[in-house]
Amino acid sequence: MRVPSGDPLVGERYEVEVGPVAHGGGHCVARHEGRVLFVRHALPGERVVVRVTEGTTTSRFLRADAVEVLEAAKERITPPCPFAGPGKCGGCDWQHVTPGGQRKLKAQVLTEQLAKLAGLTPAEAGWDGSVEPVGGKLAAGEVPAWRTRVQYAVDESGAVGLRKHRSHDVQPIDRCLIAAPGVTELGIESRTWPGMESVEAVAATGSSDRQVILRPRPGAQLPLVELDREVSISRVDEQELMHRVHGRTFVRERAADRTWRVSDGGFWQIHPQAPDTLVDAVLTGLDPQWGEMALDLYCGVGLFAGALAERVGEDGAVLGIEAGKQAVADARHNLAALENVRIECDKVETLLPRTGITSTDLIVLDPPRAGAGRETVAHLVGLQARRIAYVACDPAALARDLAFFREGGYRPVSLRAFDLFPMTHHFECVAVLEPVAGRA
């Protein structure tokens, strides 16, 4: 492990003027004696006292928490959650901000990343500059219970909680305010979990399915689980393999007029309205036509592939590519009734060049947080799709890839941002691209 040089500054306090919001981590930028500080629990324009949490006298930048507010921004509120604040739970970045203020901060982050990494203004990206609320606007201090999947950490005593920011330390809690009702009613927070490293709760949307996934510490025995309702239970072993303990190994989610099997805690959007919101945005942007060919890349359990297949019809075809073996098995199960869909298992960058596909009409890609990357984007632009929908959970990765698409002759014609993770710095985007005239 690399040992930082210089004298430690952790615990030092400085009075600073807070500058703009920065990408990632829910922090804002401030300066003290010429050195950059990344400050959490602050807002742009505020004057605060910060306490350094990471860094030394030779560090290029410091990390800090705002521990005293001298001049508050108008968007500041008292955090509704008692576990939010300096040194506490790291899950929610912006409990101290009004819902409208949170969306403005996210819009500022996206604007900055588009300019810095893609050289685009909001207008050039086809974006109206807003981050859209999902499920209606919230009043100041109102906390939506949206998170249908929560992974609780467990401390040495067996108490459950959530990790502190940039730490393995556990903040014990008795209730997570953003957890969906189906998670809360399991009663996980009201009991102890001796010998467990983590306990993950899954509450499906549109069905009564509930799942708890236990990760024991090495050598520990599973506890006798008596929860507040009927629930399926699985465990994760030291080789990251999943084993059924009780009930099903999957939950059934309902979205896009279809029931989806999602196994072993696999990926599914955690806001209950996210799948329908994103499917609607993708279909609106792509406008699929009967008989067209479409690619669904990083397809997961088949959400977008299923929606596209219905629109292109029996004369069209959809190819989904996904690297996760269990997700592919689920996708094939979920879409078994659609004869115009094929799902293949491999990495997109590995399999797509081997398919022999030289052209397609439509592409939707929903890559992991790191984005698709230059090589994959270069291959996609060579397929001459009339439209491409890019679903992104990281604005920096999206902006970088938009720059690669521009190099290949594609430009964004619309961009929408959705506040699918209230109280955090995260949000989701859907960008729709078309070939520049004369370069298709």
What is the CATH classification number for the domain harbouring 287?
3.40.50.150
344 and 402 both lie in a single domain? yes
Secondary structure (3-state) at 29: strand
pLDDT in tens, 312-343: 999 999 999 999 999 999 999 999 999 999 99
278 and 215 both lie in a single domain? no
Q: What's phi and psi for 327, nearest 5 deg?
A: -65, -40
Please indicate, yes or no, if residue 45 is contained in any of the structural domains: yes
Please indicate, yes or no, if residue 428 is contained in any of the structural domains: yes
Q: Is 273 left (phi over 0), alpha (psi -120 to 50) or beta?
A: alpha
400 and 298 both lie in a single domain? yes
Please indicate, yes or no, if residue 423 is contained in any of the structural domains: yes
Instruction: Round to whole Å and give the CA distance between 21 and 13.
Output: 21
Q: Has 92 been annotated as catalytic? A: no
- Domain extent for 184: 149-252
Please indicate, yes or no, if residue 154 is contained in any of the structural domains: yes
- Binding residues, by number, are 269, 298, 322, 366
113 and 173 both lie in a single domain? no
**Residues 23 and 112 sit within 8 Å (Cβ to Cβ):** yes
309 and 416 both lie in a single domain? yes
Burial of 56 (0-12, 13-18, 19+ CB in 10 A): middle
Please indicate, yes or no, if residue 67 is contained in any of the structural domains: yes
Dihedral sign, CA of 19, 20, 26, 31? negative
Q: What is the pTM of this model?
A: 0.95
Average pLDDT over residues 93-100: 97
- Binding residues for S-adenosyl-L-methionine, by number, are 269, 298, 322, 366
Q: Which of 147, 200, 127 lies closest to 422 in space, CA to CA?
A: 147
Please indicate, yes or no, if residue 195 is contained in any of the structural domains: yes
pLDDT in tens, 102-111: 999 999 999 9
pLDDT in tens, 403-432: 999 999 999 999 999 999 999 999 999 999
Outline where DSSP puts E strands in 266-379. 293-297, 317-322, 341-345, 362-365
430 and 303 both lie in a single domain? yes
162 and 111 both lie in a single domain? no
Average pLDDT, the chain: 95
Is pLDDT at 156 greater than 80 in this prediction?
yes
Give the CATH number, domain containing residue 59: 2.40.50.140
Please indicate, yes or no, if residue 181 is contained in any of the structural domains: yes
Domain total in the chain:
3
Secondary structure (3-state) at 19: strand
Is pLDDT at 228 greater than 70 in this prediction?
no
Please indicate, yes or no, if residue 440 is contained in any of the structural domains: no
Instruction: Round to whole Å and give the CA distance between 114 and 121.
Output: 7
Which has the higher per-residue pLDDT, 26 or 4?
A: 26
Catalytic residue among 89, 299, 393, 429: 393
**Residues 122 and 111 sit within 8 Å (Cβ to Cβ):** yes
